[in-house]
Amino acid sequence: MYNRVLVANRGEIALRIISTLQDHGIEAIVTASDPDMTGKPARVADGILHLPGESALNTYLDIPLIVDKAKDLGIQAVHPGYGFLAENSEFAKAVIKAKIDFIGPTPDQMIKFGDKIQARNIAIKTDTPLIPGTIEILSHEELLEESKIIGFPLLIKASAGGGGRGIRFVNSFEEMEEQIALAKSEAKLAFNDDRIYIEKFIPHSRHVEVQILGNGDEILHFGERDCTMQRKNQKLIEEAPAPTISRKTVKEIHNSAVELAMGVKYQNAGTVEFLYDQAEKKYYFLEVNARIQVEHPVTEMITGEDLIWRQLQVSAGLDLDISQENIRFKGHAIEARIYAENAYKNFTPSPGRINRISHPIGAGVRVDSAVDDGCEITPFYDPMISKLIVHAHNRDAAIHKLATTLDNYLVTGVHTTIPYISEIVRGDAFKSGDYHTKSLDNVSIEIPDDVELFARAIAAFSLKGKPKTVVNSVSGVSRWKTSFWPRGDEL
Ligand code: ADP
Ligand code: ADP
Ligand code: MG
């Protein structure tokens, strides 16, 4: 095993990786930009690799700087986390060239899966069910022709897209001409790659993905995660096991994921994403994320596994001391992503100083967050505050635990999506499982009568505690007796 590992990332995922490293007696060095020099990962790590500057481009995305400094520091392996350089094959190549291990798939595998068109071709080779659509670069005229065959609505996707970006919804043939042009220029701007393809839109679908781990010889799976609760193609709530889909189908999805990964002798941790068509009861390959994912804790909660440790074992070429039969699933886990955003003002980011933050605790409660009192949410990076994960014996109990835990999550100084998540979790749709990936795009959450008063009420609650007799739940903000709360200077 390694003695010294660099975590080339920031925020909660940096802290998460540092924790596993230190747990196994490995020295953890972490990258830190100027604003992150006083952040929790920098404070907790055994060493800091300083990246002067603020913008991601000048710091966490500067490949030569990170690799040069890593060499100087005698780093043996680099963990890239998710986002930033995690799926950048040039980074992986530069790291390997410097005789440092890259904790992730091979650069070749990253290239193949980073390009969604190539990934679709691998799915064809491995007989994985594929969403009807195109599988090669086509001319403008050819795309128009193909669109008639596929039918409408359909999606135009950027081959290099990710993070819910680079997807355009097209309702009818009349819109195609214009949407192709828009999709191309958008993809060029966002990913510096204007290659696009088209795919049939699957209505009322669920997002189901499989956690895999490979060492080149064998592929293990750690079960599935359901990430159907999304807003604008971005995941908000993730859970395992997947609700509403028969276990027989879920097992088929596991097998498809393993076979696809086998097809390229996949190395390290990855996720094979699928869409499940609820009307047709069919599943289709979506894409592969060649990295550890944001929502990996959900899997860790129900399997008792440390997936970061498994990544280290594979990367260091050590034997995996587990087999598929030993990977057991217990109970139900749900994760909610909490962002510094104002859900009542179209989710505009709410950067600023966190005055007070008090993360909930409890049996079966896990909070992955690098945010603590006085911490600044800067406009430079992702405004995620934390991931709240709960584990209980079944789904109903997990939902109840998540709802009550959210009630006791105290944050002041910035707007958060806690009230919004709380509304969703308490809603009948979530409880019954009767929703699809677009459900949230179609509903508007009730705006409290007085948004400012509401913000102050949260601050009051956070500093002074929950009003014991008047209300006993913070969740239904619109249900609050707002007149109870003090105004202005009283806070
Ligand atoms: P996950 O499936 O792990 O939830 P996401 O798609 O939400 O993954 O992306 C994880 C992180 O990586 C997010 O912070 C997202 O903004 C970032 N990300 C993913 N793909 C890209 C991309 N192509 N360009 C920029 N950021 C990306
Ligand atoms: P990204 O790389 O941005 O994660 P994905 O291809 O994984 O892109 O798609 C992200 C989300 O967009 C999916 O989880 C799903 O909600 C929606 N989506 C993608 N493709 C389709 C499709 N063909 N039909 C319906 N929804 C889709
Ligand atoms: Mg995806």
Q: Whose CA is nearest to atom 17 of ligand 1?
A: 83
Burial 220-236 (b: 16+ CB within 10 A, else e): bbbbbbbbbbbbebebb
**What mean pLDDT comes out for the span 421-425?**
87
Ligand 1, CB cutoff 6 Å, lining residues: 82-83, 162-163, 234-235, 289, 293-295, 382
Mean pLDDT of 116-144: 97
CB 123 within 8 A of CB 285: yes
113 CB-contact burial (10 Å; exposed 0-12 / middle 13-18 / buried 19+) = buried
Ligand closest to 230 (CA) is 2
Q: How confident is the model at residue 470 (pLDDT cuts 50, 70, 90)?
A: very low
| pLDDT tens track for 295-322 | 999 999 999 999 999 999 999 999 999 9
Closest residue by Cα to atom 11, ligand 2, is 233
**DSSP characters over 29-91:** EEEEEGGGTTSHHHHHSSEEEEE-SSSGGGTTT-HHHHHHHHHHTT--EEE--SSTTTT-HHH
- Give the C-alpha separation, 138 to 268, whole Å: 33
Please say whether the beta carbons of 234 and 443 come within 8 A.
Answer: no
- DSSP β-bridge partners for residue 357: 411
120 assigned to active site: no
**Which one has a higher pLDDT value, 474 or 421?**
421
Q: Cα of 206 to ligand 2 centre, how many Å?
A: 10
- Secondary structure of residue 126 in the 3-state scheme: coil
DSSP for residue 264: T
> Percentages helix, strand, coil for the chain, rounded to the nearest 5?
40, 25, 35
Position 455 scores a pLDDT of 59
Q: Which amino acids bring their CB within 6 angstroms of ligand 2?
A: 131, 155, 161-164, 167, 199-202, 205, 207, 230, 233, 273, 275, 286-287, 437
Can you name the residues that pair with 288 across neighbouring β-strands?
A: 272
More confident residue, 485 or 388: 388
- Interval between CA 128 and ligand 2 midpoint (Å): 17
Pocket-testing residue among 157, 169, 275, 442, ligand 2, by greatest number of atoms within 8 A of Cβ: 275
Burial (0-12, 13-18, 19+ Cβ within 10 Å), 253: buried
| Distance between Cα 206 and ligand 3 center (Å) | 12
DSSP line for 315-358: HTT------GGG----SEEEEEEEESEEGGGTTEE--EE--EEE
Say which of 291, 310, 337, 456 is annotated catalytic. 291
Residue nearest atom 3 in ligand 2 by C-alpha distance: 164
The CA distance from 334 to 237, in Å, is 7
* pTM of this structure: 0.92
